[in-house]
Amino acid sequence: MPLKGTTRLIGMIGDPIAKARTPALLNPRIAAAGADLAIVPLHIPAGAFGTVFPALLTLGNMAGFIVTYPFKEGCLAFADRISTGARLVGGLNAMRREEDGTWTADIFDGVGLLNAVKAQHDPRGARVLLIGAGGAGRAIAVSFAEAGAAAITVAELDDARADGLVSGLVAAFPGCVIRRGPPHAAGHDIVVNATPVGMNPDDGLPGEVGDFAAGMTVVDIVPAPAPTALLRKASAEGAATIAGSAMTDGQATALLRFFGIEE
């Protein structure tokens, strides 16, 4: 994909950024769509963010940003419009410059997973168990609530994190029953592991999940090359399973649409 003087840029920012896979994954899709646009990795040392990022916003050919650790929260202060999801999560993973020069922020962790789930299980009216209420978990909870889930149980060891998510969701989605609870699969239709448990091959389960059953859908967002212990158990007990790669694929498609790329 040749870069030209007319090429508009999407900066992927993070610290570190060397292992970022998004530019290599999405630039071919952008080129195939015929857009004069390119994603470029930009390593901003965390200590320099307050100086460097405001300067990047002024570049005339900067179309937007894809944001990774540790800047998802800090970038919100520079957005003129913030989606409901990003506001509730307290972070973003994309910013887009509008024609009037203002900036719109959104987050797609939850949307990416929801797109993968919809292929197997309608989230409307579903009872969801969310294990882990970190950044990705919060985004996932918001997406399920927006999609019409009947109930969401949040299983999280950090009391402040869990209570903050539950209170925010209750206020924003009064039609969804949202509560804290243990990580037990029984009584739920969809189970999502949004913790890092499963990153290592010898990791066990993300809590005492109990038994799965046919009709359940079990999702593990860990991008492991082989099925995690959670997915192996779920599959053996008759539940449908979705691996972390499906979330990544769904997130990539949502990001492209956010930047106006239709494939």
pLDDT, tens digit (0-9, with 9 covering 90-100), for 108-143:
888 889 988 998 899 999 999 999 998 889 999 999
What does the pLDDT read at residue 1?
A: 67
Weakest-pLDDT range from 148-157, 204-213, 222-231: 222-231
- Residues 228 and 116 both lie in one domain: yes
Pick left, alpha or beta for residue 95 (phi over 0 → left; psi -120 to 50 → alpha; otherwise beta): beta
Looking at the structure of the chain, the number of domains it has is: 2
pLDDT, tens digit (0-9, with 9 covering 90-100), for 137-184:
999 999 999 999 999 999 999 999 999 999 999 999 999 999 999 999
Structural domain including 204 reads: 110-248
- Looking at the annotation, which residues are catalytic? 72
User: Is residue 253 a part of any domain in this protein?
Assistant: no
Q: d(Cα 148, Cα 261) in Å, to the nearest integer?
A: 27
User: Is residue 30 a part of any domain in this protein?
Assistant: yes
User: Is residue 187 a part of any domain in this protein?
Assistant: yes
Among 107, 134, 154, the domain-final residue is 107
Return the SS3 of 122: coil
The whole model's pTM is what?
0.81
Question: Can the peptide bond before residue 70 be classed as cis, meaning omega within 30 degrees of 0?
Answer: yes
Residue 263's pLDDT band (cuts 50, 70, 90):
confident
Read off the CATH number of the domain in which 82 is found: 3.40.50.10860
